[in-house]
Structure 1
Amino acid sequence: MSVTVFIQGRNGASRWQPGKRWLLLPVLLIAAGSGLYQHSAKQILQQQTNVDNERVAREAQKDELIELKGATEAQLAMLVTHVARIQAKVTRLEALGQQVAKNNQLEDQFDFSSEVGVGGLSELGANIELDQLISDMDKLVSRIDNNNVQLSILETVSSNLHIDEERYISGRPIQKGWLSSPYGLRNDPFNGRRTVHKGIDFAGKEGTNVVATAGGVITWAGRMFGYGELVEIDHGNGLRTRYGHNKSLLVTVGDVIAKGENIAKMGSTGRSTGPHVHYEVLRGGQQIDPQKFVYRKAG
């Protein structure tokens, strides 16, 4: 098959017969156009797929934000509840501190109702509810710090008010019994010789409570030659007391005891003729007459 093309010119008509290659050109153009169309269709489909994927991702992010907002609101509500509980406890603490100050006649020196000055965050650009919660928490921290300082000072002042009373030696070292031997010269009950008795003896029923005549720290609790089972208490300022011949001891070395506290049970251990307490008062390591401490008024 051949194709002849006639071309009309100035000098007459001419004939041109194309070869087979020229006949393939339309086929090639059609194939190229079809390829371009398919490529464009694929790009459009890919873009549509990307848009759909982005839409799904945005929906997922939206759901996550909604869930996060709900969790944040729940946590915020929990924080509000905790702040309310702390406020109640701080209020109770302040009331207790004020009562302690009043009992010690120090209310004019300690004021637990006032708050210390604190700074706050700006509300511009922030959620006012969260800022209010943070402000409340800051105030609570300041109140707690202020109360801790005041309570610490109050405790020191209160202790200083009562320490002299606790360390004031007075009264008898027994709850029940009688004076059986005074301080000073006497006949030794074992050999009859004239000797110096460096304490006071209080006789009574075996097992009777022996009590501390002042507060202090136990520096000896055990057997000592001549004293039997002995308790020694350091009251500070160079003063100590001893309680000898006990049946049993209720304290150990290092214990801090209060005035009037039971420290032993009356007995007859050591160099003794019967149940009694040998009571001594020492100043600077030397025994002095305990009688003035026994019969003086309580501090």
Structure 2
Amino acid sequence: MSVTVFIQGRNGVSRWQPGKRWLLLPILLLAAGTGIYQQNTERFESQQASVDKDRLVREQQKQQVLDLKNATESQLAMLVTHVARMQAKIVRLEALGQQVAQNYQLEEQFDFSTEVGIGGPSDVGASIELGQLFDDMNALVSRIDNNNVQLSLLETVASNLHIDEERYISGQPINKGWLSSPFGLRNDPFNGRRTMHKGIDFAGKEGTEVVATAAGVVTWAGKMFGYGELVEIDHGNGLRTRYGHNKALSVTVGDVVAKGETIASMGSTGRSTGPHVHYEVLRGGQQIDPQKFVYRKAS
């Protein structure tokens, strides 16, 4: 097969017959164009994949920033709550302190209305961990709570409630009921053996109010072996009282209770045969006969 090309020129028409090499040229050009097109297509797809990947990374980073912002706002909200709690407690402490200072004419030595003077070296540039800040604030709240208890006791003194008279132990630990077992040797109700009963039992109806026989500070409120649910009150001067076998407790450790205040309800928890309160008086950590306190005249 041959191809003839006619070319019109000034001197007329001339004829040219290309060789086989010239016939291969279009095929080579087509192949080259196809290769270039495929290469460009692959390059474009690679660039597009890179752009999509970058967009995905940016979206992930954006979401991380939003999550961090939300977490920070949540932590700041907790911080605001902690600060509000401390402010309320401090206002209470300041009011109580100011009242006590006025009652004892100590305004010149204790001024609760001005900023407390403090100072000391500081580590400039030291970083503050938010978690540590929360821990410190919680510790401060605990200290404020402890001071609140102490100032509440001072408030009682300043209000002329005669705390010394209130600490005078007298009367029964119940308003309704009867003495069911005295202090001293008795036959144990569980094994029948002769044992020492180191308190007085007052029986009554389950749920009957159990009251403090003198003012003081609660040093135990919970289960104790043999006693069941027990309340122990420290009245100072080495004297304590115990109220055992309760059904439920109305006080917690650290509470300041007044004489006659309800501290529990009568029950039969622990080593007990029925609803009653086991009442003890301790001096220097040793149980003594509560009878003289039960039947003594109120001060």
When the two structures are superposed, what TM-score results if normalisation uses the length of structure 1? 0.49
From the CA coordinates, give the structure whose radius of gyration is larger: 1
TM-score normalized by the length of structure 2: 0.49
